[in-house]
Amino acid sequence: MVTLKQIRNSVLIALWMMILTFPIMVIKVNTIENIVIWRWMNLLYIGVGTVILSIFWFFLINRRKLEPEERKRSFALKGKIETLKGVLAKPVVQKPLYAALLVIIIIFPFVSSLYQTGIMITALMYVILGLGLNIVVGLGGLLHLGYAAFYAVGAYTYALLHRYLGLSFWVCLPIGALSAMLLGILVGLPVLRLRGDYLAIVTLAFGEIVRILLENLSQYTGGPAGISGIPRPSFFGIKMSLSTAMNYTYFLTFALVLFTIFVVRRLEHSRLGRSWVAMREDEVASEAMGIDITRAKLSSFALGALWAGLAGVFFSAKTTFVNPASFTLWESVIILCVVVLGGIGSIKGVVLGAIVIILLPEYLRAFSQYRMLFFGLILVMMMIFRPGGFIPAKRRVYTFDKAQLEESD
Amino acid sequence: MAAILDASQVTMDFGGLRAVNNADVHIDQGEIVALIGPNGAGKTTFFNVITGVYKPTTGDVRITAPGKETESITGLKPNKITEKGLARTFQNIRLFQNMTVLENVMIGRHCRMKAGIAGAVFRDRKTREEEEQVVADSYAILKKIGLETFVNELAKNLPYGAQRRLEIARAMATEPFLLLLDEPAAGMNPHETRELDEMILKIRATEKISILLIEHDMSLVMSISDRIYVMDYGLLIAEGQPKEVRANPAVIKAYLGEEFNA
Amino acid sequence: MDLDYFFQLFLGGMTRGSIYALIALGYTMVYGIIKLINFAHGEIYMIGAFTALIIVGALGMTGLNPVLIFLIAGVIAVLTSAGYGVTIERIAYKPLRNAPRLSALISAIGMSLFLQNYVLLAQTSNFLPFPTLIPEFKFLANAGGIISSTQIIILATTALVMVVLTLLIKFTRIGKAMRATSQDRQMAQLVGIGINKVIAFTFVIGSFTAALGGVLICSHIGQINFYIGFIAGIKAFVAAVLGGIGSIPGAVLGSFVLGLTESFGTGYISSDYEDVFAFLFLVLILTIRPSGILGREKKAKV
């Protein structure tokens, strides 16, 4: 509960914040026209806002300290959520639920506007990107901050191959994916022996190098203006209207999402996937258990890149236009956030993460000015109060039937 | 028959510090050998040299796996050495904390499996069979070590003694002919230590695995070792059967001290 | 070869390096102590620059001596930024001290995003010019435009900060506590060092120097917007890693190496690839020396 001491502290914090934010919140200068505006009301907003928020903050922090059991008791609603989760986990409930979801996904493009379909395609693409990066970050534990570079390679492969050789989407799809993977291996070989943060900064540097090259090799890539007029995916050469083409792209992307989930699930529960997780947990121990670390790192890095490449080709085809501005560091960061917010290493989590991160800002357009501000705040709050993400990863539970148990005796 | 492990004149320098000085250690098939010495004597460094974590400054480590030719493993990477049949545990427990107990053991089976990316994605019959076999084998190992009740628990949630045993189970899963245990009894109570004692003897008897262990618990060392090496300041100062070592004045002086004499 | 041009590039590189060094110090000190890439550090630099600009703008009407205005603005900016530094640590990093490293990193990214948009919304997205307040020194008239007085001030300030910081860390009580904490946080706590105080102090120092860099750079380059912190932060981080993150001399060396590489790269090869030089150089160095130029290879204890 909120104590008097906390309220006093909150007031002190509010005073501190008022002093701290005074120059930026109250004074507004325009040094071009030499105008100074004093916005004293802002000081009041900051003060009142901070008192309220900090009381809320103390409440949450105290709750965080409680054991999970106590927490459940302290919050009746939470208990109900747990029961609901239990009900949802039952196969009898789950199957129809998934079926209903599938129906909604299939009907969606026919009942929604072209604009909505476009957003949904974007969200689905982030699902693919998130799942791909999840292989590297979630399973392999390699902090990758240059993922957008591989996404760019896929996108530009299609754009360039179409522009210069007239190749179609379907030909470019595997080429784009493979070239991203190849680049992943080439980059990975020298840099993967770096540890943790060094790897993060080198991947970041690599991502920026790719983007700047795309921007400056303008005789081939069109520079900052990019390449336009990239065709949408074709269907045996049939001419399609814009809306049909969009719906078709939507279903293709959805199919790729299903394919990605299928493959990532299988990888996760395979010899290779286990070696990634072991590497994430403890490199020294996994090497002592016979895992070839170089190989494990390289394979997770390369497979991650492969998916970025696939998504890149889809991106070009969907937007019919690419430019370097789509592949900045922030792009890599957003994809990383999809993985971490959703639930690192958890497939369901990443899917939900992508949908929330892409759709929420879209539907918050009314507050469009503030959405990045809130996005930043949400990232911080999530890490503090729900670090496992929306749907935390769970390890697989193996069951043993009687016959097996007796056999092993 | 050649010794299964023959480390000759192994020296390991860190900058100016000589952590291991010209050590000769050999282990015969079926032996339980202990490496003892005061803290900081260089025992764990010696382990790290043998298992490939460090490359020795000078010296050679050769192994003779049962039914195979003698070969040098000096400078090989740790995973290669594990493949050749040496497995270890760690002084400061290094389990895969967020994986289940069963998965920890399954990782040990990794180097005896073959499935690659294609196998993982297509999950053909061979891969499926291999996967089922690994689950069954791992479960069998857990049963031997007495951890089967924890099978789906996360490793980090295990009690301390069980974590130590899981490390041994994981190492056994790699099918070693020589098991290197780095202070397996550290932090265990007398009861757990006694159980460990029995377990090590059982492993040797039933699995035909030889054992090299670093240990500070003298009752454990004296009761199960066939031979003991004593290390002090990187140098091997004594070698022999427990009772010889116990009587060796150099050992008493350097390590066991008055306390043990009394 | 044109020697004047060479010197101009050299001094330009040193100036750039100085600014990077002032920011990189904060990165490297924070990293040394809590092993966190403080992504929001670049924003502190930006906030420092913006606060200085605001104060200068507000005081501009009073008709005070420009140099005095600059000094007042600088002091207020640096103090405010130090305040931001500790506040951010309290909110976004302290609750995550025992969490996985990735969580703290994401939190830092979130904070960076928040601060950028905070300044964007409270002020403007446009570039704002920073008035010239530092007069040209008379004795520079003969130097033929190779170096400006602002550059001299930047170089001198950086040198001074380095010396003071070195003394602080080597010889003072808090400096010793900082070194102890970065070696082994738990042990430091056991011998009675107040970890929270040390960490807060590190953030204060780091933010202080970063803001100083911000104030100096805006008087040198002449215009700022809410986004300058991001690029500068990345570059300074590159510099810190280049030198060996966690090492203070490393951060300074890395910054000058980076500044010079960029300056000569753009001057002699092409200005389109300014950032590529920095990043390529980083990749190259780390491939040869995985822990940076002055970083020591840490053997994992097994």
- The domain that holds B47 is classified in CATH as 3.40.50.300
State in Å, rounded, how far the first CA of chain C is from the last one. 55
A384:C95 CB<8 A: yes
Long-range contacts of B114-118 (CB under 8 A, 24+ apart): B115/A270, B115/A271, B115/A272, B116/A271, B116/A272, B117/A267, B117/A272, B117/A299, B117/A303
Chain B residue closest in CA terms to C301:
B92
Q: How distant is the Cα of C99 from the closest Cα of chain B, in angstroms? A: 14
For residue B201, is it within any domain? no
Residues 145-184 of C with CB under 8 A from A: none
E strands, B170-234, are: 178-182, 210-214, 227-232
For residue B108, is it within any domain? yes
For residue B92, is it within any domain? yes
Q: Which residues of chain A make contact with B134, given a CB cutoff of 8 A?
A: 271
B neighbour chains, 3+ CB pairs within 8 Å: A, C
Largest Cα–Cα separation, chain C: 66
C301 touches C293 (CB < 8 A)? no
C169 touches C178 (CB < 8 A)? yes
Q: Which residues of chain B make contact with C302, given a CB cutoff of 8 A?
A: 44, 48, 53, 90-91, 94
The percentage of chain B sitting over the pLDDT mark of 90, rounded to a whole number, equals 63
Q: Is the pLDDT of residue A193 over 90?
A: no
**Are residues A143 and A211 part of one domain?**
yes
CA–CA distance, C76 with A246 (Å, rounded to integer): 55
**Are residues B160 and B126 part of one domain?**
yes
B119 touches B170 (CB < 8 A)? no
Q: Within an 8 Å CB–CB cutoff, is residue A49 touching chain C? A: no
For residue B252, is it within any domain? yes
For residue B202, is it within any domain? no
Q: Within an 8 Å CB–CB cutoff, is residue C302 touching chain A? A: yes
Q: Is the pLDDT of residue C299 over 60?
A: no
Place of tokens 């190749």: A167
Q: What is the domain partition of chain C in residue ranges? A: 26-226, 247-294
What ipTM did this prediction achieve? 0.90
Map chain C to HEC letters.
Answer: CCHHHHHHHHHHHHHHHHHHHHHHHHHHHHHHHHCCCCCCHHHHHHHHHHHHHHHHHHHHHHCCCHHHHHHHHHHHHHHHHHHHHHHHHHHHHHHHCCCCHHHHHHHHHHHHHHHHHHHHHHCCCCCEECCCCCCCCHHHHHHCCCCCHHHHHHHHHHHHHHHHHHHHHHHCHHHHHHHHHHHCHHHHHHCCCCHHHHHHHHHHHHHHHHHHHHHHHHHHHCEECCCHHHHHHHHHHHHHHHHCCCCHHHHHHHHHHHHHHHHHHHHHHCHHHHHHHHHHHHHHHHHHCCCCCCCCCCCCCC
Its domain, for residue A39, covers: 4-78
Using CB atoms, which residue from B87, B94, B127 is nearest to A282? Answer: B94
Tokens for C13, please give them. 């590189």
Q: How distant is the Cα of C122 from the closest Cα of chain B, in angstroms? A: 44
For residue A270, is it within any domain? yes
Instruction: Check residues A242 and B181 and name the one with the higher pLDDT.
Output: B181
A23:C76 CB<8 A: yes
Domains: count for chain B: 2
Q: Within an 8 Å CB–CB cutoff, is residue B100 touching chain A? A: yes
CA–CA distance, C216 with B188 (Å, rounded to integer): 60
**Are residues B104 and B77 part of one domain?**
no
Residues A150/C225/A19/C81 CA torsion (nearest 10 deg): 60
In a 13 Å sphere around the CA of A320, the CA atoms on its Cβ side amount to: 10
Q: How many residue pairs from chains B and C have C-beta atoms closer than 8 A?
A: 7
A24:C118 CB<8 A: yes
Instruction: Check residues B255 and A124 and name the one with the higher pLDDT.
Output: A124
Chain C residue closest in CA terms to B94:
C302
Using CB atoms, which residue from A275, A281, A284 is nearest to B97? Answer: A281
**Are residues B182 and B53 part of one domain?**
yes
Q: Which residues of chain A make contact with B78, given a CB cutoff of 8 A?
A: 284, 287-288
Mean pLDDT along residues B16-33: 92
Tokens for A246, please give them. 């969009």
Within 10 angstroms of residue A361's Cβ, the number of other Cβ atoms is: 15
A394: three-class secondary structure by DSSP: coil
Q: Within an 8 Å CB–CB cutoff, is residue B90 touching chain A? A: yes
What's the pLDDT score for residue C280? 86
**Are residues B71 and B124 part of one domain?**
no
Place of tokens 């236009």: A321
**Are residues B124 and B182 part of one domain?**
no
DSSP classification of residue B95: -
Q: Which residues of chain A make contact with B139, given a CB cutoff of 8 A?
A: 400, 404-405, 408
Long-range contacts of B250-257 (CB under 8 A, 24+ apart): B254/B38, B254/B230, B255/B36, B255/B37, B255/B38, B255/B230, B256/B218
C129 touches C222 (CB < 8 A)? yes
**Are residues B38 and B75 part of one domain?**
yes
Q: How distant is the Cα of A306 from the closest Cα of chain B, in angstroms? A: 13
The residues, any chain, with a CB within 8 Å of residue A201's CB and separated by 6 or more, are: A145, C37, C237, C238, C241, C282
Q: How distant is the Cα of B199 from the closest Cα of chain A, in angstroms? A: 17
Q: Which uninterrupted H or E stretch holds A321?
A: strand A321-322
Q: Which residues of chain A make contact with B96, given a CB cutoff of 8 A?
A: 277-278, 281-282, 285-286
> Shortest CA distance to B46 belongs to which of B33, B29, B31, B65?
B33
A303: three-class secondary structure by DSSP: helix
**Are residues A330 and A193 part of one domain?**
yes
What's the pLDDT score for residue B33? 95
**pLDDT-based confidence at B108, cuts 50/70/90?**
very high
What's the pLDDT score for residue B262? 37
For residue A348, is it within any domain? no
C neighbour chains, 3+ CB pairs within 8 Å: A, B
Report residue A43: phi and psi, to 5°: -60, -40
Q: Is the pLDDT of residue A291 over 90?
A: yes
In a 13 Å sphere around the CA of C171, the CA atoms on its Cβ side amount to: 6
> Shortest CA distance to C195 belongs to which of C209, C213, C214, C182?
C182
| Segment A118-171, tens digit of pLDDT | 999 999 999 999 999 999 999 999 989 999 999 999 999 999 999 999 899 999
Within 10 angstroms of residue C67's Cβ, the number of other Cβ atoms is: 11
Q: Within an 8 Å CB–CB cutoff, is residue A321 touching chain C? A: no
- Which ranges of A269-328 does DSSP label H, i.e. alpha helix? 271-281, 283-288, 293-319
What's the pLDDT score for residue A37? 86
Tokens for B144, please give them. 């031997």
Q: How many residue pairs from chains A and C have C-beta atoms closer than 8 A?
A: 180
For residue A375, is it within any domain? no
**Are residues A304 and A195 part of one domain?**
yes
> Shortest CA distance to B121 belongs to which of A216, A269, A38, C287?
A269
C91: alpha, beta or left? (left if phi > 0; alpha if psi -120 to 50) = alpha
A218 touches A161 (CB < 8 A)? no
Mean pLDDT along residues B60-65: 93
Provide the CA A128 distance to its chain's centre, in angstroms: 9
Instruction: Check residues A297 and A36 and name the one with the higher pLDDT.
Output: A297
Mean pLDDT along residues C216-228: 85
Q: How distant is the Cα of B215 from the closest Cα of chain A, in angstroms? A: 20
**pLDDT-based confidence at A69, cuts 50/70/90?**
low
Largest Cα–Cα separation, chain A: 86
For residue B143, is it within any domain? yes
Residues 40-69 of C with CB under 8 A from B: none
What's the pLDDT score for residue A93? 79
How many residues does this entry show for chain C?
Answer: 302
**Are residues B167 and B90 part of one domain?**
yes
**Are residues B61 and B129 part of one domain?**
no
The percentage of chain A sitting over the pLDDT mark of 70, rounded to a whole number, equals 92
> Shortest CA distance to C243 belongs to which of C70, C59, C52, C23?
C23
Using CB atoms, which residue from A267, A286, A408 is nearest to B121? Answer: A267
B92 touches B163 (CB < 8 A)? no
CA–CA distance, A359 with A375 (Å, rounded to integer): 12
For residue A41, is it within any domain? yes
CA–CA distance, B199 with B212 (Å, rounded to integer): 14
Q: How distant is the Cα of B235 from the closest Cα of chain C, in angstroms? A: 20
For residue A357, is it within any domain? no
For residue B196, is it within any domain? no
Mean pLDDT along residues C19-29: 92
Query: Do the strands B17-27 and B5-14 form a parallel or antiparallel pair, or are they unpaired?
Result: antiparallel
- Taking only Cα atoms into account, the Rg of chain A, rounded to an integer number of angstroms, comes to 25
**Are residues A125 and A20 part of one domain?**
no
Report residue B10: phi and psi, to 5°: -80, 125
Chain A residue closest in CA terms to B85:
A290
B254 touches B248 (CB < 8 A)? no
Q: Is the pLDDT of residue A73 over 70?
A: no
For residue A329, is it within any domain? yes
B114: three-class secondary structure by DSSP: coil
**Are residues A44 and A117 part of one domain?**
no
Q: How distant is the Cα of C95 from the closest Cα of chain A, in angstroms? A: 6
A290:B83 CB<8 A: yes
> Shortest CA distance to A388 belongs to which of A337, A335, A344, A333?
A344
Domains: count for chain A: 2
Q: Within an 8 Å CB–CB cutoff, is residue C302 touching chain B? A: yes
Q: Is the pLDDT of residue B260 over 70?
A: no
For residue B193, is it within any domain? no
CA–CA distance, B112 with B87 (Å, rounded to integer): 13
Letter string b/e over residues B122-143, b meaning 16 or more CB atoms within 10 A of that residue's CB:
eeeeebeebbeebbebbbbbbb
Query: Do the strands B70-72 and B86-88 form a parallel or antiparallel pair, or are they unpaired?
Result: unpaired
> Shortest CA distance to A293 belongs to which of A373, A192, A366?
A192
Using CB atoms, which residue from C76, C131, C273 is nearest to A31? Answer: C131
What's the pLDDT score for residue A409? 43
**Are residues B120 and B41 part of one domain?**
no
Provide the mean pLDDT of chain A: 86
The percentage of chain C sitting over the pLDDT mark of 90, rounded to a whole number, equals 39
At CB < 8 Å, which residues of chain A contact B? 263, 266-267, 270-275, 277-278, 281-282, 284-293, 299, 303, 395-398, 400, 404-405, 407-409
B120:A266 CB<8 A: yes
Its domain, for residue B125, covers: 86-175
DSSP count for chain B of H helices, then E strands? 11, 10
Q: Which residues of chain A make contact with B115, given a CB cutoff of 8 A?
A: 270-272
> How far apart, in Å, are the Cα atoms of B221 and each of B34, B46, B176, B186, B226?
6, 18, 21, 12, 9
> How far apart, in Å, are the Cα atoms of B97 and each of A328, B91, B106, B157, C251?
35, 16, 14, 8, 35
What's the pLDDT score for residue A408? 47
In a 13 Å sphere around the CA of C206, the CA atoms on its Cβ side amount to: 39
CA–CA distance, A95 with B210 (Å, rounded to integer): 52
A373:C117 CB<8 A: yes
Q: Which residues of chain A make contact with B179, given a CB cutoff of 8 A?
A: none
Q: Within an 8 Å CB–CB cutoff, is residue C31 touching chain A? A: yes
A neighbour chains, 3+ CB pairs within 8 Å: B, C
Provide the mean pLDDT of chain B: 90
Among A94-103, C12-21, C46-55, which is the least confidently predicted range?
Answer: A94-103
Place of tokens 């076999």: B133
C241:A384 CB<8 A: no
